Amino acid sequence: MTDNAQHLIDLTAFTADHCLKCNICTAACPVASITPLFPGPKTVGPQAQRMRLPGAPSPDHSIDYCSGCGICTLVCPHGVRVMEINTQAKAQMTATHGISLRNWFLSRNERWGRLGTPFAPLINFGLRLWLARWFAEKAVKISARAPLPRWAGYTFRGWWKKQVRQHPRPAPASDAQRVVYFHGCSTNTYEPHIGKLAVAVLEHLGLYVEIPPQTCCGLPAQSNGDFKAARRYARKNIAFLVDYARRGIPIVGTSASCMTAIKGDYQHVLGLDDPDAQLVAEHTYDFMEFLAKLHREGKLPTDFHPIERELPYHAPCQLKAHGMGRPALDVLDLIPGLRCWEIDADCCGIAGTYGFKAEKRAIAETVGKPIAEQVEAASAEVVVCDTETCRWQITSLTNATTIHPVELVAQAYGLTVDRYTPPVTARQM
Amino acid sequence: MTKTTQTGSDVIVIGAGLAGLTAAVHAVQTGATVRLIAQGWGQQIVTPGWISVCDRAKDDVIAELRGYAALHPAHPYALAGDEGMIDCLERFRAITKAIGVPYGACVKAGHNLRLTTLLGAIQTPLLAPASMVSGDLTGVTGEILLVSFTGWRDFYPALAASNLAKQGITARAVLVDAPGAPQAWDLWPVELARRFDDPALRQRVIDQLRPHVQNAAKIGFPAVVGLEQHVEALADCTQQLERPCFEIATLPPSVPGTRLSNRLRRWLLRQRARVQIGHPVVHGIVENRRCVGVDVGALGHTNPFYADQFILATGGLYNGGIQSDESGRLWEPIFDLPVKGPGGTGREKWYHANLLVHRGHAVHRHTGLRVNTRMQPLDADGAPVLDNVYAAGHLLTGFNPLTDGCAEGIALATALKAVQVALALEAQKSY
């Protein structure tokens, strides 16, 4: 087969030709089996794909009920990129009919995070008012039950700038000691402690952390079908990161879903199939994946303080899409006393912005039920999870405290940061 | 208990079909650290969910199989050894009972079950989910009531009843409204099964059925009676309708296969094994005839995973474990192991004048990996290619999964044997 023909077959839309209609994806879809509004990934994906012409209106509007969790792509034994096909069809629908005000709003979380920071106390107070949430549900169709983050009141980037100013660091001898940290929007404005802990761990490993300018990964816009905005975000990030990738400097991020976008979606969903996008993808790692890689190479110190706990772990659907296994579990297994086990669940239901939408909230809650049941059965008070919206969703479904695995790693290394109380503590030796 | 070490896990199992999943279970049960990696779910989700061991056996299945294996030394059953056959079936029944999807067998010990299909044909697996076993037609004399949903495209019980009548079995058809759905036409079995989990929706079906039960000896439902709560759901039907209720295998997706896969995955995760479904192993990392790791095709870059032993259970020609192209070339994509084919040049031996040729097409019978009694893939001279890679399931040559009626039996037997050899549990035995 010529390279050209192979390239054509590898294109997302053409993977539909590998579909045998076996329905394994239908059996696995967490949404289709609980709502008649979504006929299932095969029906709206590879099956409807045969009716779709590039640029022509999409024939099936039920695709709006696809959460984009991507379980269909994972369970397909034939390599059909079902979720990617569906997301592209969703974009076609948005391009034809326009984007709703609510979806536009959810797609630009980066902006609200930034603009809201100075008014954090006011917003945090306002958003906890029943009346405000009721109004938001009625007026903009954002569910009153959806788990909203709290604004931290300061940004991670602001903290970092001050940090660098106050503690100038000697430049490293070689690029091999450098690492780029991609914090994502949530860490920047809602959960800066995760970024601070990530930096602390990377520096503890003797690495020189660089935090170049960056913007939203584009995933919220992408999953709402706004490919124009998503590509704009993607191109900006590629431009910010490509020089580091060219120098072989790893780019690591603590939000597993942002990293999915940079590693895979830019090419397979948004179609940015240029050498720069590929180069950035090749050098991008999920934070825990990066630690697991260092460990494989014998470069991860394992002088961890013991953490005597048994904790459930949820692997977000977007983390599963990486194909990197469960690096968080592999690394956390190195901490003495700590026994983490994976909750058996495809998706927590939130799927980025899906579970925030009023008409989809009940679906999102039902999808997440197996997590709540298993956490409850284990009487667990803390759940470990690598992605922010999943953590918020799990907290809302279970009342458990949810933490990023970096919080455990930092604890076990004995690292602390300001304005942060560790929910799980290590035994000091 | 699974934990990472510098060298990785004890065992990596590649494939999430029946062979891969049960291999992972056996390995975990012996205390090994296990990582299961698969491109997608295996074929148990598109097959009925029962265990065919030797479908054509009229009486003692194991005796028939022993006789067959003695005559065909290259058959996977002969290679795996018949003592392992009984062992693997007992182990399968034990694990399925433990995870809440119990499997059962015919009341006539050692005999095949006689189960109806949605068309009223009779199939003869050795083991089946307990929900199907209660529909065993062995020695049945009374009338069978067959239930489907008005407008549902997947099951026309009147057709099944008339076909069963031709085989001397009295059956009657009844249609009821699907639980909680006015439009049943487009419903998938899994969707229906979730509705049967809900006691209120289930009750509506039971209430509709009550006047139709009459003299029925047994009541057959399509296999959609519950997904998570299926044991309770079927017991509820049986108790309220006062007749044994049973399930009949449906078109894909298979609810019994989904239940089995889901519960096995949950069990493996709770034992802290890793289950990584979604990305293919693209390449084996081999040093001096030993596999040290596998590369998984992932977003951005491949990811290596290391282990001491490797169980290859990626399936046959239909499942991606063996690839082919238009020239008739056949290859095994991960280790490039030698693949036995039907022979000839091109694809001329793949075809036959008859679509349904007796004993199947040559490409199905012959295509696969040749292995020794240690389940090690062999080269042309009959020597093992790699020291620590073992193959199991559909990937093997020497049987025809489509016509021999033994696909699941081979998956279970060869998976157990592969794990026993890989973990040196049979060290005392000679080969």
Query: Would you kindly state where each structural domain of chain B is located, as residue ranges?
Result: 9-47+259-306+314-422, 136-251
Cβ-defined contact of B40 to A1 (cutoff 8 Å): no
Cβ-defined contact of A26 to B181 (cutoff 8 Å): no
Confidence of residue B20 (pLDDT cuts 50, 70, 90): very high
Could you give the 3-state DSSP secondary structure of residue B215?
Answer: coil
Size of interface A-B (CB pairs under 8 A): 143
Cβ-defined contact of A77 to B304 (cutoff 8 Å): no
Going along chain A from its start, the domains and CATH numbers come out as 3-97 (1.10.1060.10), 302-412 (3.40.50)
Confidence of residue B184 (pLDDT cuts 50, 70, 90): confident
Could you give the 3-state DSSP secondary structure of residue B247?
Answer: strand
A295 touches chain B (CB under 8 A): yes
Tell me the chain A residues in contact with residue B38 when contact means C-beta distances shorter than 8 Å: 77
List the structure tokens of B307. 């282990």
Query: CA-CA distance, B303 to A289, in Å (whole number)?
Result: 9
Query: Within a 13 Å sphere around the CA of B317, how many CA atoms are in the beta-carbon half?
Result: 23
Residue A225 has pLDDT above 80, yes or no: yes
Q: What percent of chain A has pLDDT over 70?
A: 96
**Average pLDDT of the residues in B234-251:** 97
Confidence of residue A5 (pLDDT cuts 50, 70, 90): low
Q: Which of B1, B2, B4, B197 best tests the A interface by mutation, with the highest count of A CBs <10 A?
A: B4
A28 touches chain B (CB under 8 A): yes
Per 3-state DSSP, chain B is made up of helix, strand and coil in percentages (nearest 5) of 35, 20, 45
- What kind and span of H or E run contains B197? helix B189-197
Cβ-defined contact of A296 to B6 (cutoff 8 Å): yes
Query: CA-CA distance, B419 to B168, in Å (whole number)?
Result: 45
A242 touches chain B (CB under 8 A): no
Tell me the chain A residues in contact with residue B283 when contact means C-beta distances shorter than 8 Å: none
- Beta-strand pair B103-105/B127-129: antiparallel
**Average pLDDT of the residues in A209-230:** 96
A52 touches chain B (CB under 8 A): no
- Predicted pLDDT at A7: 57
B136-251: CATH architecture? 3-Layer(aba) Sandwich (3.40)
Q: Using one digit for the tens of pLDDT, what is the confidence trace for B52-79?
A: 999 999 999 999 999 999 999 999 999 9
Q: Using one digit for the tens of pLDDT, what is the confidence trace for A352-368?
A: 999 999 999 999 999 99
Residue A312 has pLDDT above 50, yes or no: yes
- Predicted pLDDT at B429: 42
Query: CA-CA distance, B184 to B10, in Å (whole number)?
Result: 48
Chain CA centroid to CA B365, Å: 19
Q: Using one digit for the tens of pLDDT, what is the confidence trace for A102-123?
A: 999 999 999 999 999 999 999 9
Query: CA-CA distance, B401 to A277, in Å (whole number)?
Result: 44
Query: CA-CA distance, B180 to B80, in Å (whole number)?
Result: 48
Cβ-defined contact of A1 to B325 (cutoff 8 Å): yes
A18 touches chain B (CB under 8 A): no
Q: At what angle are helices B199-213 and B230-241 packed, to 10 degrees?
A: 30
Confidence of residue B263 (pLDDT cuts 50, 70, 90): very high
B9-47+259-306+314-422: CATH architecture? 3-Layer(bba) Sandwich (3.50)
ipTM value, please give it. Answer: 0.94
Q: Using one digit for the tens of pLDDT, what is the confidence trace for A35-72?
A: 888 989 998 888 888 777 766 666 678 899 999 999 99
